[in-house]
């Protein structure tokens, strides 16, 4: 056993479970690829100030959860705790918004890092697939992204997820609501850290998960009662488009989410089979983020869906994905000449798109056939000196046990035909 173990709060992805994670990533990305979103990949670390400005200095992510480091050159960096700020920074740096085709539509996949108390569904290293549409203010764009996320979940077979929806208003209507909420919150029995948050970003208090706080929030003023006409109309259009697309949602007037940059449309996907860590993904509109990090005004919207939490949701519903076999054919050579010939056939089968493996290590027939069965292959290709002298190999169906000779020259065609 190794002296070292994975750091606390992290996990390793290993076969066969890793195949499910890959399939989930592909399923989430597939609707995006069909909808004009191009792939973007950003560094695993960024300037600390990018997240302090964008995510918000009062958020738990920035104040408590970021992994930060100082380089030998004195630069203050942070492992990325979320994807939106990094993707927007990359788009601005590359001037994608000046290409004349707005919105800039991007999707990404990667690992993110937060120093949190580890528990099921909450890790210090976690995987997400995200999407951002940069540079357009259009309720149809908000609806598009929500629909694509819902379609991704449905394509995986998930049924017991719910979509929570809210509007956080904008810079015109939020100040009046902020003042009303602050007045209400100042009258509550709260600890000093929460009281400081009231003055910096009172909406974040609504997102406090502690029961002692939530009990006191009954009767708190709701943002929906303070929305201006434009935000009310905008939110109404998003709701209408979702309804027309058959995407059910629940209005949640207290939905805030943990990031400061959200405006107007805010949403979260939750799964009731995951316990306290019920959120499997979410996002919203962030019309002011570009200016916060030094860019021009670029109204934008996006989301991030948790790969690990989606896998947990699949398990909660008892769903096993129909994954392609890691190995369809397993080659078993008997003797040195057979090793040379079958290794060439393995290469030919792989080039024909057939997943094929080989009995490495010079094992005997019994050991090699055990390897074939463990591989999950449908067929074993077996050859010895007598078979090669006759120009054939033995093709064995590992499900039925049937075995028969196949001309060596026809092996690829015969395997492809039998696999369908």
pLDDT at residue 417 tops 90: yes
Q: Please write down the HEC assignment for all residues of 190-210.
A: CCHHHHHHHHHCCHHHHCCCC
Q: What is the pLDDT of residue 339?
A: 95
Candidate ranges 47-61, 196-210, 373-387; pick with highest mean pLDDT: 373-387
Q: What is the pLDDT of residue 245?
A: 98
**CA pair distance 211, 206, nearest whole angstrom:** 11
Average pLDDT for 98-121: 90
Please state, in angstroms and as integers, the Cα–Cα distance from residue 391 to each residue in 296, 331, 341, 362, 418, following that order. 71, 16, 11, 22, 20
Q: What is the pLDDT of residue 211?
A: 87
Rounded to two decimals, what is the model's pTM?
0.89
Average pLDDT for 25-40: 98
User: Is 286:263 a contact under the CB 8 Å cutoff?
Assistant: yes
Output the average pLDDT for the chain. 92
**CA pair distance 340, 277, nearest whole angstrom:** 54
Task: Say if residue 82 is exposed, middle or buried (CB neighbours under 10 Å; 0-12, 13-18, 19+).
Answer: buried
Longest CA–CA span in the chain (Å) reads 92
pLDDT (tens digit, 9 = 90+) per residue, 317-329?
A: 999 999 988 999 9
């Amino acid at each position: 056993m190794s002296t070292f173990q994975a750091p606390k709060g992290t996990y390793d992805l290993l076969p066969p479970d890793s195949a499910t994670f890959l399939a989930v990533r592909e399923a989430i990305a597939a609707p995006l690829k069909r909808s004009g979103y191009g792939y973007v990949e950003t560094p695993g670390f960024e300037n600390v100030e990018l997240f302090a400005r964008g995510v918000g200095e009062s958020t738990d992510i920035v104040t408590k959860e970021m992994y930060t480091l100082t380089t030998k050159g004195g630069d203050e960096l942070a492992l990325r705790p979320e994807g939106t700020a990094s993707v927007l920074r990359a788009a601005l740096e590359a001037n994608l918004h000046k290409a004349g085709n707005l919105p800039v539509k991007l999707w990404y996949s990667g690992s993110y890092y937060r120093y949190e108390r580890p528990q099921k569904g909450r890790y210090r290293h976690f995987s997400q697939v995200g999407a951002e549409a940069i540079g357009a203010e259009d309720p149809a764009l908000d609806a598009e992204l929500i629909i694509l996320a819902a379609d991704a979940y449905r394509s995986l077979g998930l049924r017991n997820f719910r979509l929570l929806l809210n509007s956080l208003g904008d810079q015109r209507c939020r100040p009046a609501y902020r003042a009303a909420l602050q007045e209400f919150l100042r009258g509550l029995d709260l600890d000093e850290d929460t009281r400081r948050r009231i003055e910096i970003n009172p909406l974040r208090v609504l997102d406090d998960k502690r029961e002692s706080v939530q009990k006191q929030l009954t009767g708190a003023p709701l943002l929906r009662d303070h929305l201006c006409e434009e935000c009310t109309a905008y939110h109404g259009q998003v709701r209408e488009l979702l309804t027309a697309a058959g995407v059910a949602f629940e209005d949640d007037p207290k939905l805030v989410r943990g990031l400061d940059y959200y405006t107007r449309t805010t949403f979260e996907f939750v799964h009731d089979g995951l316990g306290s860590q019920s959120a499997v993904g979410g996002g919203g509109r962030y019309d002011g983020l570009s200016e916060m990090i030094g860019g021009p005004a670029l109204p934008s919207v996006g989301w991030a869906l948790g790969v690990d939490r989606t896998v947990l949701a699949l398990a909660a519903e008892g769903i096993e994905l129909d994954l392609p076999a890691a190995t369809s054919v397993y080659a078993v050579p008997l003797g040195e000449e057979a090793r040379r010939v079958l290794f060439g056939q393995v290469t030919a089968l792989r080039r024909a798109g057939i997943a094929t493996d080989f009995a490495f290590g010079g094992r005997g027939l019994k050991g090699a056939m055990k390897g074939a069965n463990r591989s999950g292959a449908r067929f074993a290709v077996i050859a010895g000196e007598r078979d090669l002298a006759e120009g054939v190999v033995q093709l064995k169906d590992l499900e039925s046990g049937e075995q028969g000779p196949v001309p060596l020259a026809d092996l690829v065609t015969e395997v492809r035909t039998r696999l369908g």
